[in-house]
Amino acid sequence: MPHAERRLAGHAAIVTGASSGIGLAVAEALARAGAAVAVNYRSQREPADALVARIEAAGGRAIAVEADVSREDEVRRMFDETVAAFGRVDVLVANSGVQQDAAIADLTLDQWNTVIGVNLTGHFLCAREAVRRFRAQPREGRPARSAGTIIAMSSVHEVIPWAGHVNYAAAKGGVRMLTRSLAQEVAGDAIRVNAIAPGAIRTPINEDAWDTPEALERLLRLIPYGRIGEPDDVARAAVWLASDDADYVTGTTLFVDGGMTLYPEFRDNG
């Protein structure tokens, strides 16, 4: 068995939306664990290239791949480029996500379609292509006990309703059932499918929720553990789920949320 710090040695991984935030931390953690990593981005090329350079400087292997995960042809090309570079693909972390928030009466169809297209359809397109590639790869010589691992980046809002964000919450609810249904379908192929549901994580997408003492105080009322999460909290969970340490885990969502889904408003009996 590889040393714990290199438990993904020999693996090749794709991380979508890896040029910032949680995706960047996940890609970097997978590389530290020994995986060759395809760093997907849609528009932020410079941070993706910078991450590739850091991984290579540390002795790892990485490439940057531009692709819009809501487009079928671009997803296929992303996998083609990964296999061309690394010879195989063993791990998919479907992390790409966007928010376009509005009250329901003001939410446009374009805002709905954009968020559903990236946050749910994009997960489907990437997962479908991953399953096809996993099934086609030779079973002998694979670096893990599984034939491949899919990790979907969900959210606490797969279970917590979120007024004013119905497109985002609907997409994450869809990711929950996509994960469970797909896991049920492909378990017989030795493919594992799980999700990670982060709570409040310190990333640019939610900066207005933590960038002042007042905002942070309001946010911490929702987190029983008493601190905001960091991207590396999620990244460590992703490494575990991708590794043989989690080989008997499929069809589940791992909540990385400091207890946010414990509904802390009810600590004093409501």
Active site residues: 168
CA dihedral (98, 111, 210, 217) positive or negative: negative
Region of residue 14 (left: phi > 0; alpha: psi -120 to 50; beta: else): beta
Please state the three-class secondary structure of 49-89 as a single string: HHHHHHHHHCCCCEEEEECCCCCHHHHHHHHHHHHHHHCCC
**CA neighbor of 14 nearest in space, from 124, 130, 120, 144:** 130
DSSP state of 226: S
Cβ neighbours around 136 below 10 Å, total: 9
Sequence length of the chain is 270
Separation between Cα atoms, residue 19 and residue 51, nearest integer Å? 8
Q: Which residues pair with 92 in a beta bridge?
A: 14, 150
114, amino acid identity: T
Angle between helices 231-242 and 21-32 (to 10 degrees): 50
- Separation CA 166–CA 116 (nearest Å): 10
> Is 217 in contact with 175 (CB distance < 8 Å)?
no
